[in-house]
Amino acid sequence: MSRDVSGRSGGLKTRVKTAKGRKVGSTRWLERQLNDPYVKRAKAEGYRSRAAYKLIELDERFGFLKGAKRIVDLGVAPGGWSQVVRQRLPQSTVVGIDLLPTDPIEGATLLQMDFMDEKAPELLKEALGGPADLVLSDMAANTVGHPQTDHLRTMALVEAGLLFATEVLRPGGAFVAKVLAGGADSALVAELKRNFVTVKHAKPPASRKGSSEWYVVAQGFKGE
């Protein structure tokens, strides 16, 4: 990698030269990463990704981590959210799942498999050992570049996560999930409101301004 560094202090930006074989988009992404204060902060504080701060900021606003004992982390890789949970709730039981490999996290059970696999829900419940207090979902479908298709694929994951949450949450529990611009659609919002006392949308400061991601925070699970 070739870097053109204008300076080492005073807020000066690191500019990345376009290397042979690297696409312009990749160069822009790398430059954005090198200059992202959340990326730098995550590295300094030992978090695996800047996404850790999205969870921290959402919890500061909504307080869903307080008192949680059993937590499910859907789309756990690389593990930033579970790191936050274990740090704030060291006595908690954390179970995560992702198609991608995730390095071990002390005190967390990590499953490498597709959440959409029909065996996944039962394996998660078994590892959890009882009703969950909180289901977190940072899942997003791989994008294909077609906005409507990408939206539908990601929302299908949100719906699957919600269905799982209604099966595993204790009364009073919470469900937090990544959605896309505009938030959850009307049918999903109606289902959330049917199952939870409060349903809010939020975009934490750690989400990049240009990102289409939002989060839905549903609290006060009504139970069956």
**Three-state SS for 137?**
strand
Q: How many residues does the chain have?
A: 224
- Identified catalytic residue from 54, 119, 178, 200: 178
pLDDT of 12 above 60:
no
**Three-state SS for 50?**
coil
Q: Are residues 40 and 84 in the same domain?
A: no
Domains contained in the chain, number: 2
Q: Are 178 and 165 in contact (CB under 8 A)?
A: no
Q: Are residues 147 and 179 in the same domain?
A: yes
Question: Is 98 annotated as ligand-binding?
Answer: yes
Side chain identity at 105, as an amino acid letter? I
pLDDT digits (tens, 9 = 90+) for 43-84: 877 788 889 999 999 999 999 999 999 999 999 999 999 999
Q: Are 70 and 133 in contact (CB under 8 A)?
A: yes
Residue 16: pLDDT band (50, 70, 90) is: very low
Tokens of 215: 């989060």
pLDDT given for residue 31 in this prediction: 47
Q: Are residues 166 and 64 in the same domain?
A: yes
Q: Are residues 25 and 136 in the same domain?
A: no
Q: Are 3 and 17 in contact (CB under 8 A)?
A: yes
122 within a domain of the structure (yes/no): yes
pLDDT given for residue 94 in this prediction: 98
88 within a domain of the structure (yes/no): yes
Among 89-93, 111-115, 150-154, the range scoring the smallest mean pLDDT is 150-154
Q: Are 106 and 87 in contact (CB under 8 A)?
A: no
Side chain identity at 36, as an amino acid letter? D
Residue 217: pLDDT band (50, 70, 90) is: very high
pLDDT of 118 above 80:
yes
Q: Are residues 95 and 167 in the same domain?
A: yes
pLDDT digits (tens, 9 = 90+) for 131-165: 999 999 999 887 777 777 777 888 899 999 999 99
pLDDT given for residue 182 in this prediction: 61
Question: Is 36 annotated as ligand-binding?
Answer: no
- What residues does 165 pair with on adjacent strands? none
DSSP 100-125: S-----TTEEEEES-TTSTTHHHHHH
pLDDT of 206 above 80:
yes
Q: Are residues 57 and 19 in the same domain?
A: no
Domain that holds residue 212: 51-221
What are the two backbone dihedrals, phi and then psi, of residue 151, each rounded to the nearest 5 degrees? -65, -50
| CATH, residue 87 | 3.40.50.150
CA 88 to CA 142: how far, in whole Å? 30
Residues in Cβ contact with 184 at an 8 Å cutoff, skipping those fewer than 6 apart: 155, 158, 192, 201, 216
Q: Are residues 105 and 165 in the same domain?
A: yes
Q: Are residues 64 and 27 in the same domain?
A: no
Helical (H) or strand (E) element with 3: strand 3-5
Provide the 10 A C-beta neighbour count for residue 72: 28
pLDDT given for residue 21 in this prediction: 55
Q: Are residues 89 and 39 in the same domain?
A: no
7 within a domain of the structure (yes/no): no
2 within a domain of the structure (yes/no): no
Q: Are residues 142 and 112 in the same domain?
A: yes
1 within a domain of the structure (yes/no): no
Q: Is 180 exposed, middle or buried (0-12, 13-18, 19+ CB in 10 A)?
A: buried
pLDDT of 176 above 60:
yes
Q: Are residues 26 and 94 in the same domain?
A: no
**Average per-residue pLDDT for the chain:** 84
Q: 178 an active-site residue? A: yes
Q: Are residues 26 and 93 in the same domain?
A: no
CA 82 to CA 29: how far, in whole Å? 25
Question: Is 133 annotated as ligand-binding?
Answer: no
